[in-house]
Amino acid sequence: MTTALRYRRSDLLLDYGRAALGVGLSGAVLAVPTAPAVAVMAGGLTALFGVFAIRTAARQVTRYELSADGLAEIGWRRVDLSWGELDGLKLRYYAPRRKKANGWMALTLRAGSRRLSIDSTLPEFEAVAAVAVAAARRNGVELDDITVGNLAALDPAAAPAAERP
């Protein structure tokens, strides 16, 4: 059985809002005469927020298909990852502030030259991570200490399963 997953519309709308605000504010600085250093900085910020908007658009058109055989990303590009070929797994936590609250996780899976990343705002993220960890263990993939710690934080009950093979 295949489960289709997409990012939530509400999360995407918030990201579009952030991108629009960033492009608008930093772009407004470019609209008035200013010092070259300020213009370069504002131009860089405008480009950065523009890239964020494009990334959000890519997430909007992308769907993931989770099955017993693997995980597929279908959108502007297509990546098919078979659980039997999985040879790399990393789980990272990103925090917007030093206190590490209100952050998000990113799961990166690798099978040969194919790479696929999802973040924790994807519904059923924990289920995808659990299936991926089980496949990594079956394939003898060694998990780094950061990944093991993040797996324990994601699901303390799964912590023993996340130990190195």
Place of tokens 């590009």: 77
pLDDT at 157 over 60: no
CB contact at 8 A, 128 and 134 = no
Give dist(CA 28, CA 161) in Å, integer: 51
Residue 155: how many CA atoms within 13 Å on its side-chain side? 16
pTM value? 0.81
Percent of the chain at pLDDT above 90? Answer: 76
pLDDT for the residue numbered 163: 46
pLDDT at 52 over 70: yes
Q: Label residue 158 by pLDDT band (50, 70, 90).
A: low
pLDDT for the residue numbered 156: 58
Other beta carbons within 10 angstroms of residue 138's beta carbon come to 12
**pLDDT average, residue stretch 110-125:** 93
pLDDT for the residue numbered 100: 67
Could you tell me the two tokens for 64? 């993931």
Q: Domain spans of the chain?
A: 3-61, 67-162
